[in-house]
Amino acid sequence: MTIIRRDPDAPHCPPIERERELIHVDCASHTYPDGSVGIHDMCFFVQKNEIVALCGPNGSGKSTLIEHLNGLLIPSKGEIWVNGRSILSGERTDLWKEVGVVFQRSDDQLFAPTVLDDVMFGPLNMGMPADEAKAAAMEALGAVGAADLVHKLPNYLSGGQKRLVSIAGILAMKPKVIALDEPTSDLDPVHSEMIERLILNLKTMHGISVVIATHDLDLAARVADRICLVRNGSVFAEGEPQEIFYDSDLITEAGLKIPDTVQTYLDYCKTWGVAPELRPVRRDDLIAALLGVPR
């Protein structure tokens, strides 16, 4: 995939691979009641079996887009399809079963007396019998490494534990897509690594496509298959990490900072007077590149 630059004046953004698309956002706009613009002519898509990173600074429209993906917000203009269904045509009632959203503030998502009650809530609302809902909740808590928290009170969990439980609550409903808003913000390094591994496992072990909204390009470089750069409420460029992160003009235009791995490799190549041909974005790729071993 080469870098795609979006034309903000284009009336539509047609599907690239319709048979693989789970979500398609076609020139959607949303203006809040106070007049501020959340997204503007937004073009975006999510395919089966991929991790997509929405990268942009605070206020660029990432969070607003995520809240449109399962009908929490409705566009004032444009169209959004989820698994072939339009969210504007009265078909959005059960979208939360197909697209789960994990908010940046876990306290906005946790409300039940115990962790088990919280994670069971979604399956019960889907009509599962209590014993099946409990089994689904326990399976999800085990998958995120939080089975030992089952009887804890959510209010007394750490920030990292709350994030794990929030993800388990979505995973228990077995959606096709999980969207996470700033998934590692305000977490300690240990829980950040746990969330990062979990994001990868959602795709590789559970077959779930993942959308992450982040301004942390180091995280995006480590986990994403595709990078979408967001500015002023729109995706203005997208492509594979190796393409996006080695285009310094694009990163500057997005108001972001080149990932540390990429910058280290560029500095190394500059020091030795060689062209940056291998374009590593992950740590193991960087080590191989510095050793002169192509991967």
pLDDT single digits (tens) 134-160: 999 999 999 998 899 999 998 888 888
Q: Give per-residue pLDDT as tens, 266-286.
A: 999 999 888 888 999 999 999
| Residue 289 sits in the same domain as residue 209 | no
Radius of gyration of the chain (CA): 20
Domain span at residue 295 reads 259-295
| Residue 85 sits in the same domain as residue 187 | yes
Q: CATH no. for residue 72? A: 3.40.50.300
- 185 within some domain: yes
**pTM for this model (two decimals):** 0.90
- 126 within some domain: no
Q: How far apart are CA 274 and CA 290, in angstroms?
A: 12
Band (1; pLDDT cuts 50, 70, 90) = low
| Residue 233 sits in the same domain as residue 291 | no
* Domains identified in the chain, total number: 2
| Residue 177 sits in the same domain as residue 78 | yes
Q: Give per-residue pLDDT as tens, 189-230.
A: 988 998 999 999 999 999 999 999 999 999 999 999 999 999
| Residue 270 sits in the same domain as residue 251 | no
- 76 within some domain: yes
Which range of 95-109, 182-196, 249-263 scores highest in mean pLDDT? It is 249-263
